[in-house]
């Protein structure tokens, strides 16, 4: 999987601040040696959105859809996004990310998401 340079740098900083074994989780619960729950991930994302002034309901699913929308707008082939989401057709993916297939909006090619 590909990540852009900014994310790579921040991930390296995060990883270097922790001591990991091969059995550790990247985002470990503070309560036990298990991964954070979906509910905890939602709380983290929701709180971050509130802190930057977003009042709409934001969660993990929102991030997933937003990634697909911006990837498509930056020129990533719909077939690649479809495969990431395990959808059965490009039309399903376009609907999922909120793109009208008749929309001829500007799409720029930039893989630095």
- pLDDT band (50, 70, 90) for residue 110: low
Determine contact, residues 97/72, Cβ cutoff 8 Å.
Answer: yes
Model-level pTM? 0.66
pLDDT reported for residue 87: 95
- CA torsion sign for 75, 81, 97, 66 is negative
Q: Residue 10's Cα: distance from chain center in Å?
A: 15
- pLDDT band (50, 70, 90) for residue 51: very high
Mean per-residue pLDDT, 10-26: 83
- State the Cα–Cα distance between residues 16 and 41, nearest whole angstrom: 22
- State the Cα–Cα distance between residues 59 and 47, nearest whole angstrom: 10
pLDDT reported for residue 17: 85
- pLDDT band (50, 70, 90) for residue 74: confident
């Amino acid at each position: 999987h590909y990540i852009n340079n900014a994310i790579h740098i921040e991930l390296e900083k995060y990883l270097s601040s922790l001591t990991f074994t091969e059995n550790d989780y990247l985002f470990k619960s503070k309560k036990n040696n298990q991964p954070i729950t979906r509910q905890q991930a939602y709380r983290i994302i929701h709180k971050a959105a509130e802190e930057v002034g977003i009042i709409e309901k934001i969660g993990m699913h929102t991030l997933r859809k937003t990634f697909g929308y911006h990837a498509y707008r930056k020129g990533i082939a719909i077939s690649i996004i479809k495969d990431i989401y395990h959808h059965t057709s490009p039309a399903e993916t376009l609907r999922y990310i909120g793109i009208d297939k008749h929309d001829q909006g500007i799409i720029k090619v930039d893989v630095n998401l």
